[in-house]
Chain A
Amino acid sequence: MSRLRALPWFVALALALSAPAFAQTQELENPGVTAAVQDRPYRLLHELDLWFGVLPLDAFYTGIYAQVGYVYHFTDRFAWQVGRGAYGLAARSSLRGELERNFGVQPTANDEVQFFVGSDVMWKPLYGKLAVLNRAVIHGEIHLLAGATLFRFTNSGFRPGINIGGGGRVFVNKYVSFRLDITHNVVLPTGGGTTSFGNVMTVNLALALNFGGND
């Protein structure tokens, strides 16, 4: 009985030992590793961004904004979004209209983002390419963002926030690329007499103009 109980352990041990042996045989038969080593066709240095974005999180309005930004790329993996500034307009939702019509809520009762400025660091760990219908190859990268933003709200005035997010970029040519970023801002409970944290999410698309990276 005790022998039978040990059988699964023997089998597991045999399998565990056979795996490296198999790998070794493979290594003997086809030794070496092959990689495609390519020059990056698109490199970035100075980047000027023209953004169009939305603030989708608030149920009472959808903020639509335009933004301008500048990014300095230290390396292919690390960059600093030196500055970005946005000005928004609020498209009020049907819920907000209903509240105002039926429940007498004042139009000024809701706090809306008027404009904001900020700065972020960018880490770009993923770089790759995609085959488009086996006819073309497009290059792109995925980045992560972390930074700080100063919001101006209609009611509570200026309030700072910290943000994290991520995005992707698709290169069109050496000078033009498109960026899609999604960030989440945690607005700190300071300023304007507020005592609670706020949340502002941004979804934005940019036309990025690149200078100097490929020289």
Chain B
Amino acid sequence: MLRLFVCATTLVSALSLAQQPAAKPADPVTGDAPAPADAAPAPASASDGGVAAAAAMGSGSTGTGAAPVAAPPPAPKKIDPKLFDDALNDYFAGNPKAAAPKLFDYTENVPSTDENYAWAQFFLARSLIELKLHHAGAVYLSRIARERTNPQVLTRALEELQQLTDRPHDEAMIDEQVFGALDLGFLSEDVAGYAHYQQGLVDLRVGNERWATTHFSKLPEGSAEASRAKYAMLVTRLKQARKDLPKEMVDQFFELAKDEKLTREARNDAMLAVARLRYEAADFTGALEAYNLVKLGPLEPGRAALYLEEAWTRYQLGQVHAAMGLLTTLDAPSFREEFLPDKFLLKALIYRDLCHYLPAKRSAKELTRRYAESLDAVRERDDLTRDPRLLRAASARGSTQRARKFLESLELEGEQLGRYAGTFGERMFGYMTRVYDLARAEAVRVYQRRLQDSVRVEADKLLRAAEQVRLMEYEVGLKLYERVKKGSKLVALIEEEPLKANQVSFKFADEYWNDELRTYRFSLKSRCIEETAR
């Protein structure tokens, strides 16, 4: 069970890279990246947010407050060229709200061959981004990247798009259709590096490591992208060679964990990978060292998975008191909503090892009690996405989490858009509303599809833990009524580490302090008699 758990968590490390700004696009190794089914409607959302395609199909809107699909667009009207200058003046005067409708008017009424057309699109995108309508801005920037009418604007648009990938964004539109399909010859070094990285990831995702290597080899040595590419390659190889892990892989991950060019999150992911690989190789001391090297910011609570894995490692090392301390950490409010069925199993194991059978039984039962509704839903073959616990767990990781965040950001921006109904004018507001409605519909579809897969993974995890717990209950039940032979003695106590001179102890009284989360120590005397010593 532990090995399965560790395998699963090792793969989750790949997922977590993809969650970070460092690895903005879908991670190649998760396998849950936008698959063909995700990408299917992409043409509709490609260049203009899908508005044109939707209008052509007459598809309805799904969002609230959506305008009905527009009638055929009005014929272009004659535009005063000064409008562009006025708009720029507004923009540079710090008034994007006034600039945006003018620029929209301009772009809608001049041919794409107009010398200011691309600039108008660019500043419209910038204005929208400054108005916190990031997706709408990205739609215009992507359009510039697709139309390529002005090379100067193109470079700046790509830089802007690259920055937008730091936040929840339309992966199909930006990562795949812009950076993943870019002709790389004319790009500046920074943008080219990012595009090479993206294209390498796309190749890795479809299983073409050789092509990916070609792209990654063009990344400037020592750049952040080169480090991220190394991580992606390593995780891919790890996934492929799961049964026969090359030993040097641990060292390679260890090197990456010290690479300052990666974000701290990515470095921590690499260090977690080291810990998991060492755990798999039964090098528990080495694994513990790696867990201790995971760096957290001041007062940062950290990740529940980190504590649970460290607890398992300490348990394997016989440090049951420290392991139980870490399980106390997992009861902190920061982690109360985390889906960690293993936690109860480990707690029961520790109590059992210390021969406190009633608490062991109670901990085991706690799992089935706490997840009763989810377990019922699995048994009744209900729609698992309707179960709040499974839903929360499934949408808290990997590509499903990214899809959820993008959907949430669209909903937020959709509400934000309502504030500009008067300023933007009927035509622009209607257009933007349709952009957001279509993006939202597509984001819902992608999210639901990813959710279906990840909720099944979480349900499997829960079922496995429930099965283990039943075995544990049975075992503890037997122990509970075991006869103690005459003359039996208590086993030697497991030595608890004494307090050092430079240490201070704060007794835990149900109040969690973030700076203490990694330092809880549990104290409980073993009640085992010699025959039942572990």
Contact = CB atoms under 8 A, between A and B. Distances in A.
A35 B523 contact: yes
A131 B523 contact: no
B523 A33 contact: yes
Interface string B368-390: 00000000000000000000000
B508 interface: yes
A132 B414 CA distance: 37
Interface in A1-58: 28-40, 43
A11 B508 CA distance: 34
A34 B328 contact: yes
A39 B519 CA distance: 9
Given A76-B501, A131-B513, A137-B515, A35 B521 contact: yes
Given A29-B362, A31-B524, A32-B524, A37 B503 contact: yes
Contacts of B524: 31-33
Interface in B285-301: 299
Q: Determine which residue in A37, A40, A131, A136 has the highest number of CB atoms from chain B within 10 A of its CB, and name it.
A: A37
Contact of A36 (B324, B501, B516): B516
Contacts of B503: 37-40
Contacts of A36: 505-506, 508, 513, 516, 519-521
Contact of B504 (A29, A40, A136): A40
Interface residues of B, number: 27
Interface in B472-527: 499, 501-508, 513, 515-516, 519-524
Nearest to A214: B502
A108 B158 CA distance: 84
B523 A75 contact: no
Q: Determine which residue in B351, B356, B358, B521 has the highest number of CB atoms from chain A within 10 A of its CB, and name it.
A: B521
B498 to A, nearest CB: 10
B359 A35 contact: no
A38 B504 CA distance: 5
A127 interface: yes
A40 B502 contact: yes
A136 B515 CA distance: 10
Nearest to B516: A36
B325 interface: yes
B507 A29 contact: no
A111 B367 CA distance: 77
B81 to A, nearest CB: 53
A173 to B, nearest CB: 12
A33 B522 CA distance: 6
A131 B299 CA distance: 11
B313 to A, nearest CB: 18
Interface in A74-115: 75-76
Contacts of B508: 33-36
Nearest to B321: A32
A62 to B, nearest CB: 39
Nearest to A127: B504
A28 B361 CA distance: 12
A23 to B, nearest CB: 16
Interface in A126-165: 127, 129, 131, 135-137
B519 A37 contact: yes
Contact of B507 (A33, A38, A75): A33
A40 B503 CA distance: 5
Contacts of A34: 324-325, 328, 507-508, 520-523
Nearest to B328: A34
Contacts of B522: 32-34
Interface in B336-362: 351, 356, 358-359, 362
B523 A38 contact: no
B322 to A, nearest CB: 10
Contacts of A137: 299, 513, 515
A137 B516 CA distance: 11
A132 to B, nearest CB: 11
Ordered nearest first, which 4 A-B pairs have the shortest CB separation? A32-B524, A36-B516, A34-B508, A36-B506
30 contacts: A28-B358, A28-B359, A29-B362, A31-B356, A31-B359, A32-B324, A32-B522, A32-B523, A33-B507, A33-B508, A33-B522, A34-B324, A34-B328, A34-B522, A34-B523, A35-B506, A35-B507, A35-B508, A35-B520, A37-B499, A37-B504, A37-B519, A38-B516, A38-B519, A39-B504, A40-B502, A40-B503, A40-B504, A76-B501, A136-B299
Given A39-B504, A43-B502, A75-B501, 16 more contacts: A31-B351, A33-B507, A34-B520, A34-B523, A36-B508, A36-B513, A36-B516, A36-B520, A37-B504, A38-B506, A40-B504, A76-B502, A129-B515, A136-B299, A137-B299, A137-B515
